[in-house]
Chains A and B, each alone.
Chain A
């Protein structure tokens, strides 16, 4: 097992390196002088030169990339001028908020996705199945930014139940309850859409499992239908669902970019949007790299779990 994990980790390295090259090139291709963009219209020649030197902007691209990676290897993510603090510090603070949002959304995605998928499969062609399948289709085709705005209009502007953005209240904010209260809308927005894909997959998977012999045997033994479905069929069906859940975890991380922007959630996604506009190269590169590492790790976790649960897969 350990060997397998190491092997999979090994596969993750080229992905992360690829992402680092891609984001580096994309940032280099965006028009505009990063030094000028960072300093604004009142930049003095001296300050501009200083930043150009620190970002090595006068060097050829491969050299700049090598410098960046070399510094990264020493644990130095560089300095983020747009926020006036170290990139590592900024990214670490923002990553916490993003992980909280993504974690909550993922929880909703798993509970809702599997629940709906199983119920729809167990009652195939019933009104419940039709209704749930229709909701799933809506969920899959709904853009998150639209769903987010609709939820804001209903729950924040009309009903005034939930805040429309931010992470803590101005007055006496910061308690666990206060953060959860702010978390509801963004997590539901992100989780609902991710859940739709999972639900559709689980339904198909469960329909297949429910037709198999061991299910008939279980029913013949006189087990309750609930026990057959949730105890036997789901256990067999869930294994194949794990990679999909891994992908959805990635989707949730990526989707955080726009959900965080709509709900002003102070996470990595919103940080990236601002940093790109301000051409803060090192901050964008550092932020994207951290998201890529999360993505690789989450998918690794999904694969490892699948192995642990399904003895048939070759190690």
Chain B
């Protein structure tokens, strides 16, 4: 008897086929033509710029908010933002900002001097009625503010307790973005989910695990944004971000892994964008204990590492070799004549022998992964191999990121001779004054875990902070750059190049050295 498919099964089969046919007729997967869809690495924590600390969140915030000053596109130099102009007193302690008069927040309330005062007092004054809408982890950026005066609706005067030139860069950073006081009053602790700023895009929706949507702000004071909408999708899985890009679910992916970038470079439908960033990956050297209390040893290890090989092969050119403590992104602050320590194992061996530490054993504290740490374990192993070639035995001790941070921040004494570390900064002052100044020793709550102390460096850092003339300030940083390079309190390794991959249809996209995204000038063609 022939085997016949029974009616019920036939029905199921037909339904399945019909379903498949429907799926085939469904609108093609693809991003909406009037929106740029960005793949984010994680769900945002908060859209309150004073609460947020992650670059991932900053990329959204940079479209919703603005500060008194902003980084000039393509640079890290402060330029007028919500303040049309400013002046600094001769002693560097009094900053007077003249505000733009045509600015409104997204909720319709006017932007004025009182709004500016509200923003900084909320962050800095624990007695402020809305201090409870925090915590504000990066408020220390503005800890130099002693008082805020508002002589009229469009003038704000900050009185600082000491001269502090990085103040301007800090104002351009997301922590300096200005929120609508009315929106904070209205939403209280939930403000971070109902943000209102003055930027070219206004917030419309945050659907957990799905997206944050922004829409063109019609009353924007400046040049209007080109695309009507922006959508930020959290896609924590690395592969998911790339399959979504290939399948047409997103237009733009940031922070693509090293080995994927190469694959996309050869694809005609995609563009790989790269840019330097204010990032430094280095090893802290413990200068309080032998062997790195000896300058010759510190220089020796800088010569011993084949940094080009690490950057080329291991990091696949997603980073560039670093020459000193100031990342190349601050082009106005680096000494143009300085080059990275060349790879010279012979010279390293010579210096080690001279210092009498041939055959020494070095303890290197490392981590598995961490914010901006690139590929810490393979990098530790490459360093271990290079130092073995010059006769130093490296013992790598690995810790989970937060445990690692707690250990390293406590100071290296008795724990290790070198430790991995990476910083992202917004001003050339940040890293040296928080991690190399005598005032920043771990026992005083600073990040100088290698105990480097040099009165000349302290004096130069202080001078740079007092200097209100950008050219003079730049010249002081050139001297700092050279001094730190020669003294080698760190093993300088690499600066991360940020990257992004986008569909060819996105026009005029460029990465900013600040790591903040700026899509308001970007256009999209089908």
Asked whether, in the complex, the Cβ of B246 is within 8 Å of the Cβ of A157, the reply is: yes
Asked whether, in the complex, the Cβ of A36 is within 8 Å of the Cβ of B402, the reply is: yes
Asked whether, in the complex, the Cβ of B243 is within 8 Å of the Cβ of A42, the reply is: no
CB distance from B158 to the nearest CB of A (A): 23
Alpha-carbon distance A168/B210, docked complex (angstroms): 8
Alpha-carbon distance A174/B76, docked complex (angstroms): 42
Interfacial chain B residues near A157, Cβ < 8 Å? 243, 246-247
Asked whether, in the complex, the Cβ of A160 is within 8 Å of the Cβ of B403, the reply is: no
Alpha-carbon distance A84/B243, docked complex (angstroms): 29
Asked whether, in the complex, the Cβ of A165 is within 8 Å of the Cβ of B406, the reply is: no
Q: Which of A33, A84, A164, A270 is the most central at the interface, judged by chain B CB atoms within 10 Å of its CB? A: A164
Interfacial chain B residues near A93, Cβ < 8 Å? 208
Interfacial chain B residues near A41, Cβ < 8 Å? 53, 371, 405
B138 at the interface (CB under 8 A from A): yes
Q: Could you tell me which residues of chain A, from 87 to 115, have a CB within 8 Å of some CB in chain B?
A: 93, 111, 115
20 further A-B pairs in the complex, CB-CB below 8 A; given A32-B402, A40-B137 = A32-B403, A33-B403, A36-B405, A37-B402, A43-B137, A149-B239, A152-B247, A157-B243, A160-B28, A161-B23, A161-B24, A161-B26, A164-B249, A166-B210, A170-B32, A171-B32, A225-B4, A230-B9, A263-B240, A266-B209
CB distance from B205 to the nearest CB of A (A): 11
Asked whether, in the complex, the Cβ of B401 is within 8 Å of the Cβ of A32, the reply is: yes
From A47, A83, A226, A266, contact of B3 by CB (8 A): A226
Asked whether, in the complex, the Cβ of B37 is within 8 Å of the Cβ of A170, the reply is: yes
If A161-B23, A161-B24, A165-B244 touch, does A156 touch B29 (CB 8 Å cutoff)?
yes
If A160-B247, A274-B236 touch, does A31 touch B403 (CB 8 Å cutoff)?
yes
Please list 13 pairs of residues, one from A and one from B, whose beta carbons are closer than 8 Å in the complex, sorted by A's number: A41-B53, A83-B43, A153-B243, A157-B243, A163-B247, A165-B235, A166-B233, A166-B249, A170-B31, A170-B233, A261-B237, A262-B237, A274-B236
Interfacial chain A residues near B4, Cβ < 8 Å? 224-226
If A33-B402, A225-B1, A266-B209 touch, does A164 touch B247 (CB 8 Å cutoff)?
yes
B268 at the interface (CB under 8 A from A): no
CB distance from A169 to the nearest CB of B (A): 8
Asked whether, in the complex, the Cβ of B29 is within 8 Å of the Cβ of A162, the reply is: yes
If A33-B402, A181-B23, A224-B1 touch, does A264 touch B235 (CB 8 Å cutoff)?
yes
Q: How large is the interface on B (under 10, 10 to 19, 20 to 34, 35 or more residues)?
A: 35 or more
Question: Which 9 A-B residue pairs are closest in the complex by CB-CB distance?
Answer: A42-B137, A164-B247, A156-B247, A266-B209, A36-B402, A32-B400, A171-B32, A225-B1, A157-B246
B135 at the interface (CB under 8 A from A): yes
Interfacial chain A residues near B210, Cβ < 8 Å? 166-168, 266
A308 at the interface (CB under 8 A from B): no
Q: Which of B208, B402, B403 is the most central at the interface, judged by chain A CB atoms within 10 Å of its CB? A: B402
Q: Could you tell me which residues of chain B, from 195 to 244, have a CB within 8 Å of some CB in chain A?
A: 208-211, 231, 233, 235-237, 239-240, 243-244
Asked whether, in the complex, the Cβ of B247 is within 8 Å of the Cβ of A44, the reply is: no
Interface string of B351-381 (1 = CB under 8 A from A): 0000000000000000000010000000000
CB distance from B4 to the nearest CB of A (A): 5
CB distance from A274 to the nearest CB of B (A): 6
CB distance from B201 to the nearest CB of A (A): 16
B6 at the interface (CB under 8 A from A): yes
Alpha-carbon distance A59/B211, docked complex (angstroms): 39
B525 at the interface (CB under 8 A from A): no
A216 at the interface (CB under 8 A from B): no
Alpha-carbon distance A41/B31, docked complex (angstroms): 35
CB distance from B380 to the nearest CB of A (A): 18
If A44-B137, A163-B249, A230-B6 touch, does A181 touch B26 (CB 8 Å cutoff)?
yes
Alpha-carbon distance A93/B207, docked complex (angstroms): 12
Q: Which of A152, A167, A170, A266 is the most central at the interface, judged by chain B CB atoms within 10 Å of its CB? A: A170
Closest to A230 in B: B6
Interfacial chain B residues near A44, Cβ < 8 Å? 135, 137
B12 at the interface (CB under 8 A from A): yes
A122 at the interface (CB under 8 A from B): yes
